[in-house]
Amino acid sequence: MTSLATLSALEAALGIAAGEFSSQDLVSACVERIAEMDEQIGAWTYFDVDYALAQAKAADEHRQSGLPTGSLLGLPVAVKDIFDTADMPTECGTPLFTGRTPTADSTVVAFLRQAGAIIMGKSVTTELAMYSPGKTRNPHDPERTPGGSSSGSAAAVASGMVPLAIGSQTAGSIIRPASFCGTVGFKPTHGRISRHGALMLSQSLDTVGVFGRTVEDVALIGDALSLFDAADPDMRPTAPLELLQNVSTEPPVEPVFAFVKSPVWEKAGPDVKSGFEELADVLGDKCDEVELPEPFHHAVDLHRTIMIADIAKNVGPLYDKDPTQLSEPLRGMVEVGRTVKAVDYASAFDLRKTLNAGLDQIFSRYDAILTPAATGAAPKTLDYTGNPIFCSLWTYCGVPTISLPLLTSTDDMPIGVQLVGQHGYDARLLRTAGWLTGALSNMNE
């Protein structure tokens, strides 16, 4: 049964639905994997074996009852420890919240339960979902960072502990760890998944996302989570995204990609540069190099202006209460954020419309942008979670992105390829990502 832990989420869902194995079988396999791997990796900040198995037993009983079942029935999911859970601690990676146990679930956790998922436990986050590392190590090399801030979520999926995990991104906290750990990481359009009941750093940047083993996996869980929630001020009622249905459908024509090196290309390491040149060559006439116009060169600074000002607002009360309980980098961000001028903040906020208008012109010709997910493979350190600079522009614009584990470094570490989609066109992005992974797989056979 331990082989069940290696199944994709979609394979596991289909197997449970067909009666080939039970949720208890699947969860037991994941429990065995956690017992085998987590002492070295440290993906979990809270995990209760008995509670996980009790949820699985209840899921199996529900399936046998003949009542309607959710799309995630019996599937184990790791939840980043910034999302409130009424039956588990939520400590956000800081001693300031040690022992904090909320009285209600966050909306994301409530939607997971509604879909029948097994909440396996809370995965490690960096301090307050920012840059200071937690205890998690990279599953491919325990001397390397897994990335951050969704460190435990990416590592838990990459090491076979769970097929699915929840994360969040304010700069590069989904895409970068997905790249470093070799998983699929999906950050939807800003405002697609509710953040109610989650730690807030920046209302205009924070985005909930997911990790899985395949594009189909992130589409499966994305469908369950992208339901309207009026408690999140940035959400609007929309028709169902039907992500999985779109991924399972062939594009009407073969996609064409815009290879965007972006204004920070000089930050890319040699493995990234050579990998993307090879990928562009393989795609041939389906890939054109596109240079972003001058306004995009300011995006990293504009993103930082918004982020540090919002952090000063939202983390400031903790700083004022006891600054010694915050890391030095986070204290510095609060202090600098408090110096941001209102006019600079407002300008940074407004300029996103200009950049998205420019991106719309690109997407009128191309199905997706092809660009690095990170500067290279995971750095060989546990004191630093890596540079999010290849994610900042896209997080600033609020567009959907996905990291695909398609490249490998010269020392056999995973390197992600980031695909970027048009604002609001999440299903199209995932369909294109599914096509790309399939096409490259066929070329390698």
CATH number for the domain that contains residue 68:
3.90.1300.10
Residue 39 lies in a domain: yes
The CA distance from 356 to 124, in Å, is 33
Choose, from 23, 149, 194, 262, the residue flagged as catalytic: 149
Active site residue 364: no
CB 204 within 8 A of CB 306: yes
Are residues 267 and 239 both part of a single domain? Answer: no
Are residues 193 and 261 both part of a single domain? Answer: no
Residue 276 lies in a domain: yes
The CA distance from 248 to 251, in Å, is 9
Among 247, 279, 308, the domain boundary falls at 247
Residue 441 lies in a domain: no
Q: Over 300-314, what HEC string results?
A: HHHHHHHHHHHHHHH
Tokens of 202: 């920046």
Are residues 266 and 236 both part of a single domain? Answer: no
Are residues 103 and 181 both part of a single domain? Answer: yes
Nearest to 217 by CA among 227, 225, 205, 206: 225
Are residues 275 and 181 both part of a single domain? Answer: no
Are residues 49 and 22 both part of a single domain? Answer: yes
Are residues 264 and 365 both part of a single domain? Answer: yes
SS3 396: helix
CB 314 within 8 A of CB 334: no
The CA distance from 430 to 204, in Å, is 23
Choose, from 151, 168, 173, 226, the residue flagged as catalytic: 173
Burial label for 350, CB within 10 Å (0-12, 13-18, 19+), is exposed
Cβ atoms within 10 Å of 354's Cβ, excluding its own: 11
* CA 116 vs CA 63, 94, 165: distances in Å: 10, 30, 14
The amino acid occupying position 378 is: A
Are residues 174 and 94 both part of a single domain? Answer: yes
Among 222, 247, 272, the domain boundary falls at 247
Nearest to 368 by CA among 279, 274, 245: 279
Rounded to the nearest angstrom, the gap between the alpha carbon of residue 324 and the centroid of all alpha carbons in its chain is: 30
The CA distance from 426 to 32, in Å, is 35
Are residues 236 and 268 both part of a single domain? Answer: no
Residue 156 half-sphere exposure toward CB, CA atoms < 13 A = 36
Are residues 170 and 196 both part of a single domain? Answer: yes
Residue 322 lies in a domain: no
Tokens of 23: 């949720």
Residue 311 lies in a domain: no
Each of the 445 residues of the chain gets a pLDDT tens digit; together they read 558 999 999 999 999 999 999 999 999 999 999 999 999 999 999 999 999 999 999 999 999 999 999 999 999 999 999 999 999 999 999 999 999 999 999 999 999 999 999 999 999 999 999 999 999 999 999 999 999 999 999 999 999 999 999 999 999 999 999 999 999 999 999 999 999 999 999 999 999 999 999 999 999 999 999 999 999 999 999 999 999 999 999 999 999 999 999 999 999 999 999 999 999 999 999 999 999 999 999 999 999 999 999 999 999 999 999 999 999 999 999 999 999 999 999 999 999 999 999 999 999 999 999 999 999 999 999 999 999 999 999 999 999 999 999 999 999 999 999 999 999 999 999 999 999 999 998 877 6
Are residues 276 and 225 both part of a single domain? Answer: no
The CA distance from 244 to 276, in Å, is 27
CB 7 within 8 A of CB 163: yes
Say which residue the tokens 């208890």 belong to.
24
Per-residue pLDDT, 444: 73
* CA 260 vs CA 208, 322, 370: distances in Å: 25, 43, 6
* CA 344 vs CA 301, 308, 339, 350: distances in Å: 11, 12, 11, 10
What's the structural domain count of the chain? Answer: 2
Choose, from 80, 122, 187, 261, the residue flagged as catalytic: 80
| pTM assigned to the model | 0.98
Are residues 261 and 237 both part of a single domain? Answer: no
For residue 386, the enclosing domain spans: 257-292+351-423
Sorted by sequence, the CB contacts under 8 Å of residue 122 that are 6+ apart come out as 44, 45, 46, 47, 78, 79, 80, 81, 85, 88, 89, 90, 91, 152
Per-residue pLDDT, 445: 63
Sorted by sequence, the CB contacts under 8 Å of residue 376 that are 6+ apart come out as 268, 269, 270, 271, 272, 409, 415
Beginning with the edge strand found earlier in the chain, give each strand of the sheet holding 401-408 in spatial order.
Answer: 44-47, 118-123, 76-80, 164-169, 207-212, 184-187, 401-408, 414-420, 368-372, 257-259, 287-289
Active site residue 80: yes
Per-residue pLDDT, 310: 98
The CA distance from 181 to 151, in Å, is 9
Residue 326 lies in a domain: no
Active site residue 173: yes
The CA distance from 307 to 301, in Å, is 10
Residue 431 lies in a domain: no
Nearest to 113 by CA among 232, 196, 22, 224: 224
CB 156 within 8 A of CB 162: yes
Per-residue pLDDT, 442: 82
